[in-house]
Structures are given as C-alpha cells and as structure tokens.
Amino acid sequence: MSTGLRLTALVVRIGFGKLGNIGSAPLLEFLLDERAERKDIQVRVVSSGAKMGIEDAADVAQKLSEFKPDLAVVTSPNASLPGPTKLREILINGKVPTIIISDSPAKKAVQDIEKIGAGYLIVEADAMIGARREFLDPAEMSLFNADLIKVLTVTGVFNVLWQEIDKTIQSIKKREPLTLPRIVINKEKAIETSGLKNPYARTKAMAAHEIAKRVGDLTVEGCFVVKEWERYTQLVAAAHEMMREAAKLADEARELDKAEDMILRTPHHDDGSVAQKRELLEKPKRLS
Amino acid sequence: MSTGLRLTALVVRIGFGKLGNIGSAPLLEFLLDERAERKDIQVRVVSSGAKMGIEDAADVAQKLSEFKPDLAVVTSPNASLPGPTKLREILINGKVPTIIISDSPAKKAVQDIEKIGAGYLIVEADAMIGARREFLDPAEMSLFNADLIKVLTVTGVFNVLWQEIDKTIQSIKKREPLTLPRIVINKEKAIETSGLKNPYARTKAMAAHEIAKRVGDLTVEGCFVVKEWERYTQLVAAAHEMMREAAKLADEARELDKAEDMILRTPHHDDGSVAQKRELLEKPKRLS
Amino acid sequence: MSTGLRLTALVVRIGFGKLGNIGSAPLLEFLLDERAERKDIQVRVVSSGAKMGIEDAADVAQKLSEFKPDLAVVTSPNASLPGPTKLREILINGKVPTIIISDSPAKKAVQDIEKIGAGYLIVEADAMIGARREFLDPAEMSLFNADLIKVLTVTGVFNVLWQEIDKTIQSIKKREPLTLPRIVINKEKAIETSGLKNPYARTKAMAAHEIAKRVGDLTVEGCFVVKEWERYTQLVAAAHEMMREAAKLADEARELDKAEDMILRTPHHDDGSVAQKRELLEKPKRLS
Amino acid sequence: MSTGLRLTALVVRIGFGKLGNIGSAPLLEFLLDERAERKDIQVRVVSSGAKMGIEDAADVAQKLSEFKPDLAVVTSPNASLPGPTKLREILINGKVPTIIISDSPAKKAVQDIEKIGAGYLIVEADAMIGARREFLDPAEMSLFNADLIKVLTVTGVFNVLWQEIDKTIQSIKKREPLTLPRIVINKEKAIETSGLKNPYARTKAMAAHEIAKRVGDLTVEGCFVVKEWERYTQLVAAAHEMMREAAKLADEARELDKAEDMILRTPHHDDGSVAQKRELLEKPKRLS
Amino acid sequence: MSTGLRLTALVVRIGFGKLGNIGSAPLLEFLLDERAERKDIQVRVVSSGAKMGIEDAADVAQKLSEFKPDLAVVTSPNASLPGPTKLREILINGKVPTIIISDSPAKKAVQDIEKIGAGYLIVEADAMIGARREFLDPAEMSLFNADLIKVLTVTGVFNVLWQEIDKTIQSIKKREPLTLPRIVINKEKAIETSGLKNPYARTKAMAAHEIAKRVGDLTVEGCFVVKEWERYTQLVAAAHEMMREAAKLADEARELDKAEDMILRTPHHDDGSVAQKRELLEKPKRLS
Amino acid sequence: MSTGLRLTALVVRIGFGKLGNIGSAPLLEFLLDERAERKDIQVRVVSSGAKMGIEDAADVAQKLSEFKPDLAVVTSPNASLPGPTKLREILINGKVPTIIISDSPAKKAVQDIEKIGAGYLIVEADAMIGARREFLDPAEMSLFNADLIKVLTVTGVFNVLWQEIDKTIQSIKKREPLTLPRIVINKEKAIETSGLKNPYARTKAMAAHEIAKRVGDLTVEGCFVVKEWERYTQLVAAAHEMMREAAKLADEARELDKAEDMILRTPHHDDGSVAQKRELLEKPKRLS
C-alpha cells in the first residue's frame, strides 16, 4: 500500500559493516547525523572490531542483512583482502546496494568492486598505522587516529564521504535508479570539497593531505619491508610524527578561515537536507 | 565437554553495544587489540548510530545477545536515559556481565546500575558536544571528537578503560567470580593511570583533563539553558575552543615525556597479556 | 567659593586601598591613565602589601582618608573577610563613595556591600593563586599574575573595571548623584566589553575566561581541601598550567584581531575622555 | 627595654614608595612574601599612580615617613627626574635607609644616589613603554606589563630584586651596619641569578633579556625622536611586538627546565628565610 | 658595430665577487632570476669561500675581470677590511661599475667607497655570526644563515638588494649614465620595501629586523670583547637564539598577510621586467 | 722538490663549480670552514648563477681549471642534464678528481658518473623548488631555500656532505689513492649521520626528511605535469607549505636535544681536523 511505500521512502535504512579500522570508519555514521536529529534515516552498525577474517566478515554480513538495509556502507583497510571481499559479496548477493570505503591498497580491488556493481570511495590519505609491537600500543593507536581524523576532516575527505552517502540516500528516497559513487579521493578532490576559502588555507590543507598520504609509505616500509626491529621502530615512529604534523597543519589551515570568519558549516536538518553558513553568527541557510 | 569449556575459556567473546556517541566510544574495541593480533578475544560491535531511543536500544541488545557474549560493554551519553537503561537491562536479564561506560550525567544512574549488578566506568572528562545547529556540522563534530580522543588518551582515561576491561577478561579466562569495575574516572584517577612520568607532564595533563571536563559546563549551558541563538552559539563555540586547547595541552604533556625518552608503551601480546617499555629503542617486556 | 568648587570638579581625587593581591589590582590605577597624561584626576594608592588583617586595613583606611578622596576603590581577595570589610566600613563611615573590586568568594559579601551603600565589581576570572609553599615561590607568583593580567586584559575584564570607574569619575565631575557599579563580571559581560571583533577571537577569549575562572576550583581544592602534600602540589601546579594556557589562548584571540587590523584601542585624553580607533594607522577619534 | 628592641628587630617595617610605573614595580612587595605568610616584615605601599611630579613625590614621601619604615624602597622610571629625586631626598633626610629601583635612564642618577647614601638596583631590561596616544591604551599598557613581568621573572631580574632587599632586611634584623645594594642588573647578572639550569634555557633567557632591553631603543626613538605619527606609531608597535616575543622566549626557557624537572623554587618561610627545591615533588629545604 | 652594441645592451653581464660570507650573499644572484628564465642578464660568481685575504681578493678580482662584467656586485663582511677594499679597487680600476654589499661595520668604509665611485648597500640586520669554536660548527653556521635569510627576505632587505641591482641593470640596458645605489638599509627602509600590507605584519617584521640587528651586539661582544670561554660561549649562543626568534617572528609576519590572501609576489619575466600580484590565484601583472 | 710537494700536501685546493641552484649548494664551501680559520685548504667557487647551459658549464669548468684544484665539487640540479654533464667531463678530462652533488633526478646519471670515475652525493631531500611564475618570486625562492637548508642541516644531510668531502681532503693530504664517495643520501643515511641523540629527535628529523623529499613530487607535478595555472599554482604552493612544515619539524627535533643539553657540535680546527662536544659548556675535544 502507498502508506507503507511512503514510510519506506521516508526512512532509509543504512547498515554500516566495519572490519578492522581505518581513519574513515570510527565516526562515519555520525557524519550523517551529527546532532542525532535526523528523522529520514535509521542506522545500524555491525563490526568485528580489529579482526577482519572471512568468518568475521560473513557473520557481520549476516547481522547486517537481518537489518534489511536499503544501503550498506562497508569500511575496512585494503578492500582487496578476503574478509572485506566476502562481506561485500554477501551484501551484493542479498541485493543490498553497497558502497565500499577503504584505503589506498584497495585500488587493487576497484575492478572487482565495479564488476559486482558496488560503489567505492577510496581515501588516499587514510594511511596505514605503524603496527609494530615495539611501537604501537593502545595510546599510540588512539593518538594516530585522532590526528588522522583531524586531517581527513579539514582537508575535505570526510565531506566527500558523507556527501556521497547523502546523495545516495536522496536517490533512494526519491526511488531513483542508484548510481553509486566511484571515487578515488586524492588531494585535489579532497581540497575542492573541503569548503576552505582562503587560498593559503587550501594549500596548507593540501600539504597536510599529501603528508598524511605519505605516512603510508613509511608504515608499509616499516611493517612489511624492513626486518630489523631498531630500524622499523624508527620508521613507524617517524611516520606517526608525520601524521601529527599533518594534523597540526590541517588545524592551521582551519584557523586561517577563522581569521576571516568564513568557516563553512553544513549542518544537517532533521529531514536530511543540508544547510549552509560561513559567518559564525549567522543562521544556516537551507541549500535549495 | 572439557574441550568445549577450554575453547570458551580461551576466547572471550566481548560484545560492544553503542548508543549515540561519546568520546570514549569510537575507538574502544581497538584499545583492547591495537594491532589486531589478539587471539584470546572475539569482538562484536552493534550500534544504532546517533540515535538512542528505546526501540533502537532493544534491537541493539537483541543483536548483541545473539552473539552470546561473555562480557558486554555498553557505551552511551547519559546512561540514566531510557534507551541506555533498556539496553543494559536486557543484557543483564540475559545473564551477560555488563560494564557501562558513560559520561558525567550518568552519575545519576549509578545506584540503578549497581542495583542490577552491572559495572560502570564514568568518564568525567568526556564532555558533551556543542550540539546546536548553528554551530555543529559534520566537520565540527569530527574535530571535537579528535580533540577529545587526544585528551582522553594522554590524560590516562583510555588506560583506565582498557585496563579495567582487560582485568575482567582475565577473570573470565580464569573462571574467577567477576568483580566488575565501578569507577568514576576523575582527574586524579586518570593521571595516576596515564603512565606520564615527568611531573610537569602530569600536571599539564591534569590541566588538560580539567579543561576538558569544564567544556561540559559550557555545552550544557549552551544547549539546555540559554535560548537566544547568538548567545548559545558563542557558548558552544567557546566550549569547542576549550577542547581544542585541552588537546594541545595534552599533546604538550606527551612531548615532555618524549624529551626524556620515557613515553610509556603498553602493547598487547596475542595472548592478551600486556608488555611494557619506556625507551623508544628497547624491546617491550612482558609484565609478570 | 565657585573657584574652589570648580577646581574640585576638575580634579577628582581617587584613593586606591589595596589589601593583599588579586590579578585586578597591580595595574588598576594605570588603567585609568595609561600614559600619565590625565589632568582630571589625582591618584593615591595605599596598600598593606600581602597582608590583609584588620589592623592593616584600618591603617590603610586611615591613610587613604587623609587624602580626602572623592572616590575610593578597594581591592582585595575575598571581600567578605574581616580586613576588607573593616577597610570599606571606615571609608563609608567617612562618607567616601567606595567601589569594591574583588574575586568570586566576594559574592558572599554582596548583600553586606549593598547594605552599606558601596559599589562592587566582582571578577569571576580573577582566580586564587596556588598558595602552597611546596609550589609557590616569588617567580611562580609573578608568572601567575602575568598570565592572569593577560587574560583579564584581553577578555575584557579590565575594560569593565576602568570604564565603570571612569563613569563614576564623570558623574563626580558633573556633580551628578552617584550610582556606583554593582556588577559580577562573568564570561558574557567580559567578552561583550572586550572590544574583540572577530567572532572566533571572541569565542577564544570566552574560552580563556572560563579556563581562568576554573583555575580557582583547583587552587581552592589544593589549598583548602586536600591535605597530602604530593596531591595538593600537583593540583595547584595543574591550576597554574591552566592559567598559562588561558593566557596563551587570550593572546591567540587578540592576534586574530591583528590579522584583520581591527584591534580596538581606547586611549584616554588628558581631560579623561576616551578616544577610539581600530586600524593601527589611523588617528584615535574622540567618542562623542 | 629589651623586649621593645626585640620586637622592633623581629618585624622590619618596609615602605614602598612608587612614582609612575616600571615593570619592576607592580608586584615588588609580593616578591618578598608571595604567600602572605611572613611574620618578620610589615609592609606599606604608597603611590601617586601614573604621576611623578615633585608635589606627588613629596606627598608620597610624607605618607611613607609616617609609617616609620626601617627600610624604604622607591620605584620609578628614570630616577634622575625631579620627582623621584625629591622622594628619595626626603626619605634620606628622614634617616630612612633607601633603595632606588629604576630603569636604564636612571644610570644618570647613580652618582647622585651614591652621594646621598642610597642604594640602587637599575634594571636594564625594564624598557620604557610605547607611550604614544595613537598606540597605547589601557589594554596595550597592561599587556606590555604582563610580558615585561614575565621576562623580568624568568631571566632572573626579579630574583636579584627580592634577594637584595631580603639581604638588607636580614642585616636590619641582625642590627648590622647596612650596605645597601648598588647594582646595574645586566644580562649576565640576571641570568646568573635566574636559577635556570639547562644551558639552553639560560641562553634563551639571555636572548629574551637582550630583546627586552632593546625594546627601549625603539620606544625612546618612537616617543622622543620621531615626530611623524605614522612613523612613531609603527616604531612603538614594533617595540611591543619585541616585548611579546621576549616573553614567549622567556616562557620557552622556563619550559626547558620543566622538561628535566629542575625548576628552581625558592619559597619564603614565615620567618623570612628562604627554602629551596628543584624537583616538583620534593619538599623545599631550608638554606643554611 | 651596431649588432655588437645591441647584443651588449640586451644581455647585461653581471659579475658577483664574494669574499667570506654574510647573510645577504649566498642567494644573491638567484634573487635576480629566481626561475632561471631571464634572458637579459648573464651571471658569473667568483668566490674565495670563507677566506677574505688580500691575495684571495686579488685573485677573485682577476677572475671576475676576465668575465668583462658590465656590473660588479661585491659581497663581504666588513667592507672596510683590506681584502674587500682590494677587491673593489681592482674592479673600479678596471672601469667596472661596482656595488658593495656589506654589513654594519662597513659603515666605516662608506666615505672610501664613495670616493672611488662605487655604490653600496649596507645591511644593518645582516648580523655577524657567533664565530667561536666552542659554539660554531657547520650545523650551527648553516642554521644561523637559514634564520638570517628568512629575516632578510621577509623584512624587505632582499627586496632592496635586488630592486637596486635591477635598477642599475635597467640603466645599463638603456645606456643611461649610472647612478649606483648608496643606501644603508635600516629597519624603516626595509619594511617600506617589504611589500607587507597588514600593519601588524609590518610591525612584527620591524621587530624581527631590530632583533636581528641586535644579534650583532652580542656576537661582537662574544667574539671580540669577552675572553672567558664560558662567558663568550653563552653570549654567542644567546645571539643565535635571538636570530632564531627573529626568523620565527618574520615568518609570523608573512603568515599574517597569508591570512588575508595578500602576499605580494614580484616575479621576474624573462626580459627582466617585474610583474606583481597579491592574491594567490591571480595572474601576475606586468608593472608599467 | 720535497718542499713544493709538502706545500701542496698542506694546502688542498678545492674548486666548487655551481650550475643553477639546489639547497645543498649555497653554503657548501662554508660547511668545510665555518669560522674561516682553516689553513689546510684553499677554496674557489665559480658559478654561472641560475643558468646551467652547456656554454655556461664550459666556461665555469674553464675558470675552475685555471685554479688547478686538487679536488672539484660540482653542484647542480639534475646532474644528468647536458650542462652539468659537460662541466664534469671537462674537469675529469683535466684529471681533476670530481665529486658531483645533486638531487634525486641525478640518479639517472649515476652510471654515467661512475663510468667517468667521478664520485657523487645524491641528496634525496633536496627537492625541486616550485618554479612557476604565478608563484615563485625572489622572496618565495629565498624562503624555500632557508627552509630547505634548515632541513638539510638538522636531518644530517649536510653532515654527510662535508664529512665526505673532508675524508677526500684527508686522503689528498695523505697522498692516498682516492676513493671518491658514491652515496645516495636517503632518510636513514641522513639521520644516522645527524648526531641527534634523543630517539624522538631522530624520528622527528626522519619525518622532516621524508616530508622534504616528498615536496619534490608536488613540484614536479606542478611544474611538468599539470597545465592549468590555477591547479599548478596550488600544487607548488602546497609543496612550499610542506617544506615550511618540514623546517619547523627539523627545528623541533633539534630543540629536543637542547632540552637535554646534548646537541652534537663538530667544529673544524685550523688544521682541518674536527673536534666534538655535546654539552654547551664544555670544550670541544679533538677526535683521535
């Protein structure tokens, strides 16, 4: 009946499946509904924590499917690994439109993802953590993520993520045929979406993005190439210092826009639409 | 059969139920297994995203229960609200040992939590975000969390969280009777657990902790007390500036320990035990 | 005779009585006449230094009375203590219009002050120093005051102080009936008077103000509540780190207004009137 | 009678006469008794505020003399001016041992001061403020003093001041013949007394001291030499930026000693003796 | 022949003779042709490295003369020393128009330079390095120069240098009678040429310039006056800390102009003309 | 004759040929003789400024050869270009032992350099400047070099350069058969030679080195790949922001060693030997 149809249309069910961690994952669902006011979506997140084996993936997929999502968003490091592959296959097999969010190594999976009909948002700056026992403990893990989240926010990466998911949600609400996003978010795509206005804020943000991306070169070298523990410990420690610096530079970029009172703010309304403002003391205006 | 018992004993199943967001939540499960190497635990996270209504809570509880956790950890703002209350009641009714992690307003629920036999870790510095539409958009939400995570990490709050959960896991592994933690994490408890060594690092961290905690005074005033939008916008914006400053001060504290090469690192082994080191270029030593 | 009357009107005699120290006190008289050019006032300061006993107070009052002030301004910590109370009582008994400047604990004295007909300016951000022998030496005392003075200046507190005293001086010069100020200077009153223009400068200043105010919570706890010396030493040290941070944040706020060349400057003329300017390279304009 | 004599010996009466302002003046009496605990001294301060004319000076001297001080300490800019000269002459004529504290231009008065038998502490880094109406308003005056106080504290200047006054107090208590201090406090004298331990902390402090001293070159040029307002406004503004930088560098110097937990603390006891400590968490030890 | 004349006119031959090092020297020739595109000049540099003896000077002069320069630019510390004097004399004797670039001690040579018909650009902020073996090693030398170059760039000194040389080149190209520059570059001349627009950027730059200049007072004292090695080591170390601070302040000045997107850029065209722009994303416009 | 031979042996003649600019070039000769005291070497530098064409190269080679150097050191960007190739060929043909110092693109020339018997020091962190007319003017060029010099100094790159040249000089003095250095200076080689002691100083320096190296990726993309001026302007501007950040991080690394008073200093003696010290206030000790 039409009522039922309308209700389905009004509230889009979004299922987030998370395997392991990347910087884009921990706050992802909150980017869509930052003040918990939104009435047009219902969210479930299922995660296997740090593990991303095939059985974990299958179980997460199962739980997510029971939620009957209108849209699935799957996050994991390196989406070409068997676990993430299994997860998206089960979802796609269950006819759930699925967007993959992953990091640079996921580029290897792009063809595979396209073939099964999923979308993807590959985040180049979402660099691998320095996962060596001589270095990485809970505190170092947490600080790295805090720095990375700051970089991904200011440089515009998170804007790409939630805007693309929001676009898909809008299409679902309008019952349009879905065109899932297929984007590699590089430094230029990110900055263009960052909303930063001062040109030096933009170039500083681009520099922060590049530094964050290059963190991955050192962590990969430190985790997979170098075998002597004194050497790899220094490499991954240097990588985290780079990320700390990238976060400080991102912060500096945002402060430049504060200096001219032109921080872009794009809060969600309870109907899922997005408003916009630049001056701190103005009311957000609904985008037409 | 004994084999089955041993297997259960070897791998502890931990279910994380998350309703809404607090700073202690997004990375919580990774604090237990920062390099995804741990073999003694299996983790599932189920969350309803930003929403924390009773039905969401019931559904999250249901999904968590299906995982048959040996231990449940529930995170939410203000654990005295109906949603979080419902969630823990269902878990406890299902005989799942449950630890509540929440923020200062949860102090109102302490008696209730104790009565039903759950544990709690109340994080005073986990201040409420400045949830006003004129101010809080996805980027501001994300940056606030990044700053807050930095404060909670450096000041020792996260150490309390994972160490208390680890203690409970060890008890479960040893089939000991469980004594769930019941702790309000204030500035002194946090710093004592922070591992910071330089006394000025400790006092700077304590200052950062206090500033973070006081953020909550301004956001509560801005969100619930003041009605004029120009006034509350400035109040919540000032609160976020305080958190940014607290994060910078926390960072400064940690840098002091770098200056003498005595950052405490406590990585997990794959068997769940914790090793320890202070010099960057030394091997972590297993704690007896 | 009229000449005598006119002369009295032209030069207002202001007596400052200072007992003990608060951040608002050391530069107070210079806030009225920052370049020593003012011809409409004559100033005497009498102070008993760090001590604020009743006999000190009586003696200070005596010396001040001999100056025959048209207006007395009395500064002290906690104006509800016997010494400050004695001081203002003697002045009021001598028919000298008196304004009390004090810190948060003085709120207890507000009724008493009003009853005897005095005015008051209570400065919430003027937090108590960390007065423990294990911590506070001459250098630490001096640095705390330097930081506090910076906070009180930038956040607008000092503007409230001198503008209210100036208003009273103007009334005396005009032989108007006096309405002495009765203001608790909180974060919103301060920022509104700060002259800061960039909205982020204002919110940063408000954050600095709040941090400074909260310093008092820790110093009170460290000086009056906690008895173990290791604990209170850390508490008061953390409090001073908070004040140092508040000063840095206040400085950052002012720099934001420099970035757009719109620092408000309000120099006094030699007749006591106030001029105003915003651009560094413009002439101050007399306010009508 | 001996009792009377002993009582006089136990409590030394110190009179501070202040004409106009220099950075060394506003907190001077508190440097001797930073926690208001000292029982061996009684203090009176009399000041004429910003003005330093001869009549003001005579009146201040009169009021100070009524206090019957055992020791007078006189602060003013340029002690060679008629006002400060008058003030010390009256005190010396009244047989009050007198120490002059002043800034670099006071060097011209050194012979005169020695001739009348007074002591002096000339503070080279106590640079003149940028007293031009186009620039200096109450806020700028206050911030300059906050920065200057920070420099004078960390670089050791204030240590010289209170230690020399304390030495004189001790002599008075012991009824020794007085040898009043006659010192020009330059960069080497200051640093040597600063208590800073890390050699780079000392060289940074020396740099801060030199920058502060050179502020005076620009303010003198801006206030007395250059006549075009656009030029002198920039000169005095540049001078204040130098002082702000000197304060930041002084702060950086002190932080270096925090990094090794070796800040020297020299708190006063209630009997006026000085204790000493370096580690934050140790008890101060009384100096023999 | 006319062809020969035209060729000479089109390509001006500039010979740089460098004896010893000053901050103005290492990048001097690149200031004229920052992207190696310029077709109107041909450059040769001959240097004797760190040494500046008479024989070195004569040899450098000889090699430079063989290049048949239309213009010689000679850099050295203290141009009044025998080596630099010899160098310029040989060039002038060879009818080569010569501009001397040197530091403050060169003021002693001004009359001599004018008498022989050379031009000069004396750079007050180009302070002597702290040349004591206990302190100055290759790294410290290099860092001092990096800081100094930053100061000389931002404060406008380098702009004066290349603009004056460019003016002379233009005159040579136009076959005008040459008026060689004779300028002592002090703080006001520098800032006026700096292109900085925000008035606080200008005053900060002026402060940086003054600090840099005053570095020379300490290095001269440390290198030539004080004999005790512990004392002079601290003096020259303090001097280098001052230069580091000046560089940071210069950087802060430039950042202020970034905050309003108004950094002046004056790139050279391949014909030697200079274009100009302020917004980062605008095309440079050729100056008429 | 033996006398002549001994003289030759005592004073080694070093000719520096410079074509175009790289960060390793401007201060190179001073790294060997930082206080101009060295008696065992004689230095000539000949440069063609910014230009590096074949004719320039030939002329520079000619002038250098006339100096009859015992050792030639040639600096240029991309040593595989025709100009630098010509320069070294002429020198080698003239039997002058030659060391090539160049940047990453020079790796293409390594085989060629080895074949002709020259040595090389290839500096990976010596990134190309952002040579676009819309961005690069004299000031931006100069600031980039200042930042780059800071990075190359602190991260140990310059230490490799002068130590390798010094080794060759020693061999020449001892009339040993020469083994010219053939080293690609990457992040690990640099840090190992940096003398930095605190492990976090080393990892910060390594991070700075990596960021500096990656600057080259953006400048190459901005200068040679991207054609739209708005895009390439942002790319090269972002690259320079990266270098500025690398310089700040390098500075932070060195400050860490100051915090423990263990900056390595390696001054040259006048006989060319190198002394060493770590504490600021100790005498350098001659290395055996």
Give dist(CA D116, CA E34) in Å, integer: 65
E259–A200 C-beta distance less than 8 A: yes
- Find the closest chain E residue to D231 by CA distance: E188
Contacting subunits of A (3+ beta carbon pairs below 8 A): B, C, E, F
The pLDDT assigned to E8 comes to 46
- Find the closest chain A residue to B26 by CA distance: A26
The pLDDT assigned to F249 comes to 98
Report the gap between the CA of E259 and the closest CA in chain C (Å). Answer: 7
pLDDT in tens, D165-189: 999 999 999 999 999 999 999 999 9
- Find the closest chain C residue to A280 by CA distance: C199
| Most distant CA atoms of chain C, gap in Å | 67
- Look at residue F85 and tell me whether its pLDDT is greater than 80: yes
Q: Which residues of F touch B (CB under 8 A)?
A: 198-200, 203, 256, 259-260
DSSP state of D209: H
- Look at residue A287 and tell me whether its pLDDT is greater than 90: no
Beta bridge pairs of residue C71: C14
The pLDDT assigned to F10 comes to 76
pLDDT band (50, 70, 90) for residue B288:
low
Give dist(CA E210, CA E215) in Å, integer: 9
Give dist(CA B132, CA F142) in Å, integer: 46
Q: Is D164 exposed, middle or buried (0-12, 13-18, 19+ CB in 10 A)?
A: buried
A203–E261 C-beta distance less than 8 A: no
Report the gap between the CA of E45 and the closest CA in chain C (Å). Answer: 41
pLDDT in tens, F59-79: 999 999 999 999 999 999 999
E256–C258 C-beta distance less than 8 A: yes
Residues from chain D contacting residue B199 (CB–CB below 8 Å)? 261, 279-281
- Find the closest chain F residue to B278 by CA distance: F199
- Find the closest chain C residue to B198 by CA distance: C234
φ, ψ (nearest 5 deg) of residue F37: -110, -10
Query: What are the distances in angstroms from CA E117 to CA A117, D108, E79, E173?
Result: 81, 44, 15, 20
pTM of the prediction? 0.97
- Cβ-defined contacts of E83-87 (< 8 Å, 24+): E83/E19, E83/E20, E83/E52, E83/E53, E83/E54, E83/E56, E83/E57, E84/E19, E84/E52, E84/E57, E84/E109, E85/E57, E85/E109, E85/E112, E86/E54, E86/E57, E86/E58, E86/E61, E87/E17, E87/E19, E87/E57, E87/E58, E87/E60, E87/E61
C239–B207 C-beta distance less than 8 A: yes
D258–B256 C-beta distance less than 8 A: yes
Identify the residue among D263, D277, D280 best suited for mutation to test binding to B, counting B beta carbons within 10 A and taking the highest. Answer: D280
Strands D182-185 and B119-123: unpaired
- Find the closest chain C residue to E257 by CA distance: C259
| Average pLDDT score over chain C | 95
B158 vs A49, A132, A139: nearest CB:
A139
pLDDT in tens, B86-138: 999 999 999 999 999 999 999 999 999 999 999 999 999 999 999 999 999 99
F242–A211 C-beta distance less than 8 A: yes
The pLDDT assigned to C8 comes to 47
Give dist(CA F35, CA E133) in Å, integer: 8
Q: Check: CB of residue B79 under 8 Å from CB of residue B85.
A: yes
A200–E261 C-beta distance less than 8 A: yes
pLDDT in tens, E3-51: 444 444 579 999 999 999 999 999 999 999 999 999 999 999 999 999 9
Six token digits for residue A123: 């985040």
Residues from chain B contacting residue F256 (CB–CB below 8 Å)? 258-259
The pLDDT assigned to E287 comes to 75
Q: How many helices (H) and strands (E) does chain F have?
A: 10, 8
- Look at residue A8 and tell me whether its pLDDT is greater than 90: no
Per-residue pLDDT 10s for chain D (288 aa) are 344 444 445 799 999 999 999 999 999 999 999 999 999 999 999 999 999 999 999 999 999 999 999 999 999 999 999 999 999 999 999 999 999 999 999 999 999 999 999 999 999 999 999 999 999 999 999 999 999 999 999 999 999 999 999 999 999 999 999 999 999 999 999 999 999 999 999 999 999 999 999 999 999 999 999 999 999 999 999 999 999 999 999 999 999 999 999 999 999 999 999 999 999 999 999 876
Residues from chain F contacting residue D256 (CB–CB below 8 Å)? 258-259
Q: Check: CB of residue B80 under 8 Å from CB of residue B108.
A: yes
D34 vs C138, C150, C244: nearest CB:
C138
φ, ψ (nearest 5 deg) of residue B52: -140, 40
Residue that wins the pLDDT comparison between A268 and E286: A268
- Look at residue C200 and tell me whether its pLDDT is greater than 90: yes
pLDDT band (50, 70, 90) for residue E124:
very high
Six token digits for residue A110: 């792009």
Count how many pairs of residues, chain A against chain C, have C-beta atoms within 8 Å.
Answer: 19
The pLDDT assigned to F2 comes to 41
Q: Is E225 exposed, middle or buried (0-12, 13-18, 19+ CB in 10 A)?
A: exposed
Average pLDDT in the F82-97 region?
97
Average pLDDT in the A188-199 region?
98
Residues from chain D contacting residue E203 (CB–CB below 8 Å)? 234, 237-238, 241
| Average pLDDT score over chain F | 95
- Look at residue E191 and tell me whether its pLDDT is greater than 80: yes
φ, ψ (nearest 5 deg) of residue E121: -130, 105
Q: Which residues make Cβ contacts (< 8 Å) with residue B180, sequence separation at least 6?
A: B97, B98, B99, B117, B118, B119, B168
D279–B198 C-beta distance less than 8 A: no
Q: What is the ipTM of this complex?
A: 0.96
Q: Which residues of A touch E (CB under 8 A)?
A: 198-200, 203, 256, 259-260
F210–A218 C-beta distance less than 8 A: yes
DSSP letters of chain C? -HHHHHHHHHSEEEEEEE-S--TTSTTHHHHT-TTS--SSEEEEEEE-TT---HHHHHHHHHHHHHT--SEEEEE-SSTTSHHHHHHHHHHHHTT--EEEEEEGGGGGGHHHHHHTT-EEEEETT-PPP---TTT--HHHHHHHHHHHHHHHHHTTHHHHHHHHHHHHHHHHHTTPPP---EEEE-HHHHHHHS---SHHHHHHHHHHHHHHHHHHHHHHIIIII---HHHHHHHHHHHHHHHHHHHHHHHHHHHHHHHTT---B-PBPTTS-BEEB-STTS--EE--
D131–C150 C-beta distance less than 8 A: no
- Find the closest chain C residue to E256 by CA distance: C259
Report the gap between the CA of E43 and the closest CA in chain D (Å). Answer: 38
Residues from chain D contacting residue B259 (CB–CB below 8 Å)? 259-260
pLDDT in tens, A21-45: 999 999 999 999 999 999 999 999 9
The pLDDT assigned to A267 comes to 98
Residues from chain A contacting residue C199 (CB–CB below 8 Å)? 261, 279-281
B260–F200 C-beta distance less than 8 A: no
C217–B242 C-beta distance less than 8 A: no
Strands D285-286 and D275-276: antiparallel
D141–C283 C-beta distance less than 8 A: no
Residues from chain D contacting residue F278 (CB–CB below 8 Å)? none
F237–E35 C-beta distance less than 8 A: no
Contacting subunits of F (3+ beta carbon pairs below 8 A): A, B, D, E
Half-sphere exposure of D26 (CA within 13 A, CB side): 34
pLDDT in tens, D20-61: 999 999 999 999 999 999 999 999 999 999 999 999 999 999
